[in-house]
Amino acid sequence: MRLSLPEANPTLYLTSSLVITFPFNITVGIPLYFGLARWLHAMP
C-alpha cells in the first residue's frame, strides 16, 4: 500500500477493515460457523 499511495495512513485502512469485518463476524460469522460445525458433527 505504501508503494502505490505514499501518503496512505496504515492505521486508517487497518482500522476501517476491522470496523467492517468485526461486527459482521460477531453477528453472522460465529453463528454460521457454529451451525456448520454442529451440522458436520451430526452427520453419520
C-alpha to C-alpha distance for 18 and 1, rounded to whole angstroms: 17
pLDDT at 4 over 90: no
pLDDT for 8 beyond 80: no
Q: Determine the average pLDDT of the residues in 24-38.
A: 95
**Number of residues assigned to the chain:** 44
Q: Taking the model in full, what pTM does it have?
A: 0.58
Chain centre distance of CA 38: 21
Question: What does the domain layout of the chain look like in residue ranges?
Answer: 1-44
Q: Shortest CA distance to 34 belongs to which of 18, 20, 42?
A: 42
Banded pLDDT at 2 (limits 50, 70, 90): low
